[in-house]
Amino acid sequence: MKQLKAKIIGNKRIAPDFYKMRLASAYLAKNSKPGQFVEIECSKGGEIFLRRPLGVHRILNDGIEVLYEVVGPGTKSLSAKTAGEYIDIIGPLGNGFFVQRTAYSAQRTAALVAGGVGVAPLVALAETLVNSSKLIVHSKRRKLYVLIGACKKGHVLCVNDLKKLGAEVVVYTEDGSLGKKGLITQGLTSLLSTINYELSTIYACGPYPMLKAISHIADSSGISCQVSMEERMACGVGVCLGCPVKAKSGGYKMVCKDGPVFDSKEIAW
């Protein structure tokens, strides 16, 4: 990890309330892994006091991208920034997804499950899975599924990017305005009951109730499952003990340092 000033290369609105920001940093490009995050200073001193954590959305040759939803003052002020400005970043932080398990396992089929803006880090993961193991999408017995759930149409993101990678994308919306109507957990259950492939790993990122339900499904199907968790953060590096998640082994684990990616079996849901 480093604290650095990164130049904003672009900050584009990709849907109402959703922005994609491209940041120039050879260091972050070289050192970031899918599932890691950065802590961004949204305003200098005062109003928006703490840094805001955002997942690494894409790892590029000369920088990274973050994809974020405007939900409050921090993300709002980020959305007002323009190309050419510099922002203060600490990163990359956290552990990231354990991709080897999928990439080198006997059954190289994976399902990525996103809730809303939770798709952000899964794009970096999908790119890495595809690049590190060409087989994953090109063999008849191996496949990459991405299941995206959201409340409504405008909140379903990155579908085309993922399709271009060769992933099979399934969309669910709660109001039925895009894809199938329902929760993404239904999508996962029906996928599991219909596919002929053996799933090696489920990777999930989204709101807590969704992760909990997915962890349950994974458990009862005997599939290994990695979840990317969220908690309010202060330091983002493991010193303040401010971002606990209850661990099955007793006590707490810190989302920023022990996570944000956990084996779903580690969490006391």
Partner 1 sequence: MVNLGTKIGKLQLKNPVMAASGTFGPEYGELIDVNKLGAYIAKTITLNARIGNPPPRVCDTPSGMLNSIGLENGGLDDFIKNKLPPLKRLKIPLIASIAGDDAGEFKELTRGLSKSGKIEALEINLSCPNVKHGKRDFLIAQDEEATYETIEAVRRSTTLTIIAKLSPNVTDIKKVARAAERAGADALSLINTLVGMAIDIDTKRPVLGNITGGLSGPAIKPIALRMVREAYKSTRIPIVGIGGVMDYKDAVEFILCGASAIQVGTANFINPAASIEIIDGIKDYMAKNNIREIKKLTGALKT
Enumerate binding residues for ligand FES (CB under 6 A). Answer: 233-236, 238-243, 254, 256-257
Contact pick of 13, 47, 138, 220 for partner 1 (by CB under 8 A): 47
154 binds ligand FMN (CB under 6 A): no
Type of residue found at 92:
P
Chain-centroid distance of CA 47 in Å reads 27
**Cβ proximity to ligand FES, 140 vs 232, nearer residue:** 232
Sorted by sequence, the CB contacts under 8 Å of residue 108 that are 6+ apart come out as 102, 133, 135, 136, 139, 142, 200
Strands (E), 106-198: 109-115, 144-150, 168-173, 180-181
**Cβ proximity to partner 1, 70 vs 237, nearer residue:** 237
Burial (CB count within 10 angstroms: exposed 0-12, middle 13-18, buried 19+), residue 213: buried
Instruction: Return the residues of window 204-263 that contact ligand FMN according to CB under 6 A.
Output: 234, 240, 242
Of ligand FMN, ligand FAD, partner 1, none, which one sits near residue 84, judging by CB under 5 to 8 A according to partner kind? none
Here's the x/- map for ligand FMN, 113-152, by CB under 6 A: it reads as ----------------------------------------
**Cβ proximity to ligand FES, 123 vs 233, nearer residue:** 233
**Cβ proximity to partner 1, 169 vs 267, nearer residue:** 267
d(CA 115, CA 171): 10
Of ligand FMN, ligand FES, ligand FAD, none, which one sits near residue 1, judging by CB under 5 to 8 A according to partner kind? none
Rounded to whole angstroms, what are the CA distances from 211 to 62, 180, 214, 230?
A: 32, 20, 5, 11
d(CA 257, CA 241): 9
Residue numbers at the binding site for ligand FMN (CB under 6 A): 234, 240, 242
